[in-house]
Structure 1
Amino acid sequence: MATPTLEKREAGFADSPYITATFRIRRFNPEVSEHAVWEDFQIEIDPKERVLDALHKIKWDVDGSLTFRRSCAHGICGSDAMRINGKNRLACKTLIKDINPEKPITVEAIKGLTVLKDLVVDMEPFFQAYRDVMPFLITKGNEPTRERLQSAEDRERFDDTTKCILCAACTSSCPVFWNDGQYFGPAAIVNAHRFIFDSRDEAGEQRLEILNDKDGVWRCRTTFNCTDACPRGIEVTKAIQEVKRALITRRF
């Protein structure tokens, strides 16, 4: 018997909330082959569930060898960034009903980073760029005896870039990063921005010089892919432009 369509179920023609959805996953296992292949999985699932729920169902009930990262499952840890229907998203924040489950849903690893297995990539180059911009408060003098106070206005200056969860969705959506993995990438620049414009920090000039490198902020071509991909809604392109402006004017 044919499975009722999503539209019919939502219109009340069927009591069951479940649909049959096809997930087309790009599989790669270096122990088996040097080439990646696409594999289809058909599962019964409530369209109000998330792509992460579907991946769990496939791994637990169909093929235990399917490999992917996830941790908190609530859009905070950033572990489960992947390309879903050709767009970088967090699997734990993407509802199946929002990505047209009437057609096969494609799932693959994010681009620009070496795939280790299935949906898992080597994040070390990404985190090295993050470490290189010194993503921590740097001050001079003796340790203070009380909290470093900051006005609400000063805090607001870099509030947007504090939201980064290091999921790499922005960096792995960047065409420049795809073609040259030496580029710092949007996420590293965003985290540099967070401290460059922090009124309590005293290493802004040092970070700007790091980003003034040939693989730094000037490699950005302002395609807005990073802003579109950010699951936290950070205005990534705006932050990059503010860092460029600070490099030119030395005002921050």
Structure 2
Amino acid sequence: MITPLPHMFVVKDLVVDLTNFYQQYKSIEPWLKTKNPPPQAAEGTTREHPQSPAQRKKLDGLYECILCACCSTACPSYWWNSEAFLGPAALLHAYRWVSDSRDDYGEERVQSLSEGWDKMYRCRMIKSCGDVPQEPRPRRRNLRHEGTAPAPRGLTRDRE
């Protein structure tokens, strides 16, 4: 049986309103942010920020997400607090940009995510997000799963 995405407002038939989902995605600023322009390119080539194969390999599994919202709608934490909690898709993309060696704003990105308790720390590690989608299968990692996130205010890592 085919049904619309669960826990989303149904517009018509199988069409759901993804406005909030995409606004949350946009809030993580999913683009490369650098403090310096790319190095000067050789004649006839485009300017780009170089990356070693090892640095590039760290991003494998982080950029395959197609923003289908399946993982977010499978997440009980997202059902309960979808207005504030960013959900698995946005957190996966946030981790992708924090992990990118070319991005100069990793710490600022993490700080922005950790400003409010709800944005990132509502993840309860239920890991329902890892069950979907079947293909493409992005690596389900985010700041909380990797331990990159700062400890919540008032807590230390030892107490988490």
Please state which band the TM-score falls in when normalised by the shorter chain.
0.7 to 0.9
**Residue from 138, 143, 149 that aligns with 1:234:** 138
Q: Distance in 1 between matches of 2:106 and 2:55?
A: 15
Aligned partner of residue 190 in structure 1, secondary structure: helix
**TM-score, normalization by structure 1:** 0.53
Listed one character per residue, the Cα deviations across residues 206-233 of structure 1 (whole Å, up to 9, x for unaligned) are 2112221222221111112111112322
Matched with 2:9 is 114
Give the Cα separation in 1 of the matches to 2:24 and 2:15.
19
- Following superposition, the deviation at residue 143 of structure 1 comes to 5.1
> What one-letter code is carried by the residue in structure 2 that aligns with 1:132?
S
The alpha-carbon deviation at position 116 of structure 1 amounts to: 0.7
- For residues 239 and 133 of structure 1, what CA distance do their matches in structure 2 show? 13
1:176 aligned onto 2:80: no
**What whole-Å deviation, never above 9, does each CA across 1:90-129 have from its counterpart, x for those lacking one?**
xxxxxxxxxxxxxxxx221112321111111101100001
Q: Distance in 2 between matches of 1:233 and 1:143?
A: 31
- Say which structure is richer in strand: 1
The answer to whether the Cα contact below 8 Å between 1:210 and 1:216 also exists between their aligned partners in 2 is no
Aligned length: 141
Q: Which moved more, 1:206-215 or 1:170-179?
A: 206-215
Q: Measure the CA separation in 1 of the matches of 2:76 and 2:99.
A: 27
- CA distance, structure 2, for counterparts of residue 149 and residue 188 of structure 1: 25
Structure 1 residue 247: deviation in Å? 2.0
**Which amino acid letter does the alignment assign opposite residue 209 of structure 1?**
Q
Give the TM-score taking structure 2 as reference length.
0.81
Whole-angstrom distance in 2 between the partners of 1:185 and 1:198:
20
The answer as to 2:53 corresponding to 1:152 is yes
Q: Deviations over 1:135-175 (max 9, x none)?
A: 00000134542321111111111211111101101011101
Partner of 2:158: none
Alignment of 1:1-252 (within 5 A): 106-142=1-37, 144-146=39-41, 147-182=48-83, 183-212=85-114, 213-231=116-134, 232-236=136-140, 238-240=141-143, 241-242=145-146, 245-248=147-150
Q: Which amino acid aligns with 1:197?
A: S
Runs of 4+ in structure 1 displaced over 6 angstroms? none
Q: Deviations over 1:45-74 (max 9, x none)?
A: xxxxxxxxxxxxxxxxxxxxxxxxxxxxxx
C-alpha displacement of 1:248: 3.0
Partner of 2:45: none
Per chain length, whose mean CA-contact separation is higher, i.e. which structure has more relative contact order (CA < 8 Å, sep 6+)? Answer: 2
* % identical aligned pairs: 35
The 1-side partners of 2:73 and 2:112 are apart by 21
Q: Where does the alignment leave 5 or more consecutive residues of structure 2 unmatched? A: 42-47, 152-160
Deviations 1:168-212 (A, max 9, x none): 010111011111112101000111111100000011112112221
Structure 1 alignment gaps of length 5 or more = 1-105
Aligned AA for 1:228? D
Hey, what's the Cα distance between the residues in 1 that align with 2:142 and 2:8? 23
Contact 2:94 2:142 in 1 (8 A): no
